[in-house]
Amino acid sequence: MPLIYISLGSNGGDPVNAILSAIKKIVAENDDCSFEAGSFYKTEPQGKTDQPWFVNTAIAIEVGITPEEALAMAKRIEREQGRVPGERWGAREIDIDIIFYDDIIMNTEKLTIPHKQADKRRFVLQPICDISPDVVHPTLEKSVKELLDSLPKDGQETRRIVS
């Protein structure tokens, strides 16, 4: 079965519970799956900085769905949890992004894998590194740990809050 790395974040309402709820829904929809979660981090907002800090984590899930099915599931769960279209980089109840799907490289109108900004975001790389520091970014051919170590710390602060 494919191994999918999914990033989850929230800065609205109760972010930790929003993320836990999303993870439970992902797992419940894929009853024949195995998954592992990274730590939870309080993270500095990117792009639009005048908003509450986010809580972020990532999961690695082995599940028998296609990339398109994974995207449809993520978008449906976001809607179910109250996410509405809004300002780019703005506050959100839940954000679910597919970062890696095995070593697939794809770029369609609706889905880009690997996620096009993953290598530049500490809040994405840090929780994935907790799970699989040696997973390799398929286009950059560097491990998540190498990418994380190359990022500047300024403007991308992360604080572990839950292991």
> Residue written as tokens 């939870």?
40
Catalytic residue chosen out of the listed positions 83, 119, 122, 130 = 83
Task: Clarify whether 88 is annotated catalytic.
Answer: no
Residues near 90 by beta carbon (within 8 Å), at least 6 away in sequence: 48, 51
Q: Is 79 a catalytic residue?
A: no
Helix (H), strand (E) at residue 128: helix 122-131
Q: Is 83 a catalytic residue?
A: yes
- Residues 134 and 144: their CA atoms lie apart, in Å, by 6
Q: Which of 31, 50, 88, 97 is catalytic?
A: 97
Count of CB atoms within 10 A of residue 108's CB? 10
Residue 147 three-state SS: helix
Check if 92 is active-site. Answer: yes
CA atoms within 13 A on the CB side of 103: 9
Tell me which of 76, 92, 103, 121 is the catalytic residue: 92
Which entry of 14, 95, 102, 121 is annotated as an active-site residue?
A: 95
Provide the 10 A C-beta neighbour count for residue 32. 8
Active-site positions?
83, 92, 95, 97
